[in-house]
Each structure stands twice: as C-alpha cells, then as structure tokens.
C-alpha cells in the first residue's frame, strides 16, 4: 500500500540538522575525532537558580494541571517588565504577549494565523528554514530576499517593495526578519527597522522579527528591537526565546510580543493545537527573567573569547571569515570557489570539523559555511588549531575518504 502522506509533507526536504547529524555519526563510526561546530545548541548548563526554581515548582500540584494557553500572567508581567527595561517598550501583558513552547513553535504557527493560499510571504535568504517551510504548509507563495555580504547581510527593502508591487495576484501578508541574524550574525540598525515598519505599513502586512539572539551581543553594543520603532506595534511582532540566553534549548519556552491582533490570532491557533507550556517550566522562566543575570554577562564574555580564538585560527589559516558582533556563529567564505556542501565535506574529511553549509538555509547562502561557538573551550581551541594547519590549496579536491586529522 502506498503511504497516504500529504502533498505538503512530500514537498518538504529533510530538516537541515537531521542530515548533518547523520553525516557526523558516520564520520565518528569511521574513527574520526570530530569537533562539532554545526548545530547551535549551547554546551553550557542552565543556571542553577533556574533549575532549582523548576524543581520547586514541579512539586506544586497546581502545575500538574493544564496550563494557561497564553501563559501565566506572572510570567507575562515579567516579560513586559523585561521589555520595558531592555528596550523601553511598553506592552500590555494581556493583549500583546503570548508565551510559546519555544519560539520555533510560535514562528511556525504564525503562518497558520496569517497565511491563506497564494498569500505572499517574504523570507530572508539564507535563513532559518522554518519561515519558508511553514508558509508553504499554508499554501503561501514564498519570495526570497537575498542577504548579501555587500549589503551588510540586510535585505534590500526597495527591492522587496518592487517584488510586492509586481505580485498583483498575491497579497503580501508577512515579511520575516531575523536580527541578530542566523546564519550571518549580522545586526540591524534602528533606521533599518524603521524602513521595514514603513514598508509593512504601506502594504498592510505584518513584519516579524525572530530575536532569539538579542542578549548574545559580544562587544558591548546592545542590538535594537523592531518594537522600539514608532508605530511598530501597528504592524510588527517579535519572537524571543530563553534557549540561547539561559542555555535552555531543551526546556522549550519563549514568547511573542507586539501587535495585539496578531498576538491574539497566534493565541487562537495555539488553543486549537497545543495546551501551553508546563507550569513549572513557566515558573523557571520567571526565575530566569527576574533573577540573577550575572550568568548572561559571563556567557557573552565566554562566547566572545571563543569567537576570538576561532577567528584567529581561521585568519591564520587563510580563511575569509566575518567577525561577528552578536550571536554564537561565525560565517566564513568557502575557499577556492568551493560550494558550501563541498567545503563542509572537505572540512569533515580533512580536519574532522562539522560545520553547517549556509546553502542549506537558502540559495544565497551558497559559498559560505557557518561555524557554531557552542562547543567546549577546549574543542574550540582544537578546531582553531586544525583550521590554522589546513592547506587551503587542497580545497578544490573532492573528498572521497575519511581520514583522522
């Protein structure tokens, strides 16, 4: 019998990091000492006071029942206070904030809240694959906005305006941004966000910024929020996560904030497809936001040290790498005209280093690889040593065998 899989599933490719993990495991089985700088999953533990808050909250019987769909009000109040303190943005905790089972869940469900068949969705390229995949799930028409090095890895909003105007048969509903950016690590300015809000208002569409890396600024300069722009809440929403800031990727908790109508629509989707975040995890998130932030300060310093060490290895090895000022990623151009896939396979084969081919996050990622800083300090040191020792004149060769570095 032919498996009755929906057409929308058949159109999906393999999720990027599932394929990377398989290749990594094959290399390990072949005897390679692998330094994994592929997936951005923090290697450091969740702060102890957050873990202790979870343990205490898990013992409270009220947390054993169904949670609030939009999140505990105490947590939403704490989120509003954080947004006020961090960005000077005023938010109504009852109408303009919804707690998410990790920001990925909310990002995916935003398409279900906004997109009808043939609606136009603009996504950056390269970018987190979920933006485009879920838009297509809903029958949306995806237009890619190239992120070019020559343009500071910011989309050309004038070109985006032209694309919207030229698609007369498809109404523009949603434009995705991601700053600080994955995979390029670029940051956006307030003036860029002002132009994005103006464009969204002109076409009566929503602009959504994926802000998972806001607190991972590495040189002391805090990135702005799109919600700081005047009248931003008329058209904008922003997605946040505790995953990167507090090393809580497995905990699955984040939030969306901004335009009340969009937040309400996202909440309506959630009431139909999930039952909210476990109450004890919400209490732990509350402890994270309102507790001691010295961990976050130390985390930034650690990632900055790792960045500097990896950059030194890349530069001494002759790589053309871009020094990030935020996130925990380093983007480097592929040597000698290699494709992204060729470069990643060559790195694994010749140096035992796992990196992400940026082309897997969109066609305009071609020619770049992404290194993550979420490996132990000793492994970053080892990767830097190997990168420095590589002979880039061999980079045109097609990898055929796995060899120990």
Q: Is the dihedral of CA 50, 325, 19, 238 positive or negative?
A: positive
The 8-class DSSP code of residue 244 comes to T
User: What stretch of H or E contains 310?
Assistant: helix 294-316
- Give the per-residue pLDDT at 263: 98
Please tell me the class of the 48-290 domain. Answer: alpha beta
- What's this model's pTM, rounded to 2 decimal places? 0.93
Q: Domain ranges in the chain?
A: 11-45+294-394, 48-290
* Distances from the Cα of 330 to the Cα of 184, 219, 258, 306, 327, angstroms: 7, 14, 30, 10, 9
The 8-class DSSP code of residue 364 comes to G
- Secondary structure (3-state) at 337: helix
* DSSP-derived secondary structure for 111-176: HHHHPPTT-EEEEEES--THHHHHHHHTTPEEEEEE--GGGTT---HHHHHHHHHH-TTS-EEEEE
Contact 369, 343 (CB under 8 A): yes
> What are the pLDDT digits (tens) for 20-45?
677 778 888 888 899 999 989 999 99
- Give the per-residue pLDDT at 2: 66
- Give the per-residue pLDDT at 120: 97
- Secondary structure (3-state) at 315: helix
The 8-class DSSP code of residue 354 comes to E
Using CB atoms within 10 A of its CB, is residue 164 exposed (0-12), middle (13-18) or buried (19+)? buried
E strand segments, 242-352: 254-258, 320-322, 329-333
Instruction: List all residues 6 or more positions away from 382 whose beta carbon is below 8 Å from its beta carbon.
Output: 35
User: What's the full length of the chain, in residues?
Assistant: 405
- Give the per-residue pLDDT at 19: 63
- Give the per-residue pLDDT at 84: 98
Stretches where the chain sits below pLDDT 50 are: 397, 399-405
Please tell me the class of the 11-45+294-394 domain. Answer: alpha beta
- Give the per-residue pLDDT at 145: 98
- Give the per-residue pLDDT at 25: 85
Instruction: List all residues 6 or more positions away from 279 whose beta carbon is below 8 Å from its beta carbon.
Output: 57, 60, 62, 63, 64, 65, 67, 72
Q: Mark out the alpha helices in 138-293 (DSSP H runs).
A: 157-166, 190-202, 260-273, 279-290
Instruction: List all residues 6 or more positions away from 166 whose beta carbon is below 8 Å from its beta carbon.
Output: none
User: What stretch of H or E contains 36?
Assistant: strand 35-36
């Amino acid at each position: 019998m032919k498996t009755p899989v929906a057409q929308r599933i058949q159109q999906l490719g393999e999720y990027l990091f599932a394929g990377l993990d398989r290749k990594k495991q094959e290399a390990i089985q072949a005897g390679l000492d692998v330094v994994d700088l592929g997936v951005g999953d923090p290697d450091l533990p969740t702060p102890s006071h957050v873990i202790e808050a979870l343990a205490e909250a898990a013992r409270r019987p009220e947390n054993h029942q169904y949670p609030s769909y939009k999140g505990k009000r105490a947590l939403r109040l704490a989120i509003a206070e954080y947004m006020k303190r961090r960005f000077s943005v005023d938010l109504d905790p009852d109408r303009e904030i919804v707690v998410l089972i990790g920001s990925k869940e909310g990002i995916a469900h935003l398409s279900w809240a906004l997109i009808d068949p043939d609606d136009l969705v603009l996504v950056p390229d390269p970018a987190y694959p979920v933006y485009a995949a879920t838009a297509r799930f809903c029958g949306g028409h995806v237009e890619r906005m190239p992120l070019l090095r020559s343009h500071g890895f910011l989309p050309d909003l004038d070109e985006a305006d032209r694309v919207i105007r030229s698609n007369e048969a498809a109404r523009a509903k949603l434009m995705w941004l991601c700053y600080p950016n994955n995979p390029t690590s670029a940051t956006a300015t307030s003036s860029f966000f002002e132009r994005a809000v103006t464009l969204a208002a002109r076409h009566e569409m929503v602009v959504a910024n994926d802000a998972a890396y806001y607190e991972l600024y590495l040189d002391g300069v805090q990135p702005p929020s799109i919600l700081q722009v005047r009248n931003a809440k008329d058209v904008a929403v922003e997605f946040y996560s505790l995953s990167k800031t507090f090393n809580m990727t497995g905990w699955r908790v984040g939030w969306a904030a901004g335009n009340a109508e969009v937040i309400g629509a996202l909440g309506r989707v959630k009431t139909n497809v999930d039952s909210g975040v476990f109450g004890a995890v919400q209490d732990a998130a509350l402890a994270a936001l309102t507790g001691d932030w010295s961990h976050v300060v130390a985390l930034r310093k650690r990632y900055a040290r790792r960045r500097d060490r990896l950059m030194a290895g890349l530069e001494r090895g002759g790589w053309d790498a871009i020094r990030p000022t935020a996130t925990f990623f380093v983007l480097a151009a592929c040597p000698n005209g290699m494709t992204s896939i060729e470069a990643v396979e060559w790195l694994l084969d010749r140096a035992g280093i796992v990196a992400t081919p940026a082309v897997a996050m969109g066609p305009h990622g071609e020619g770049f690889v992404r290194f993550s800083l979420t490996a132990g300090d000793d492994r970053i040191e080892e990767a830097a040593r190997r990168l420095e020792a590589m002979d880039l004149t061999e980079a045109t060769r097609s990898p055929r065998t796995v060899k120990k570095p």
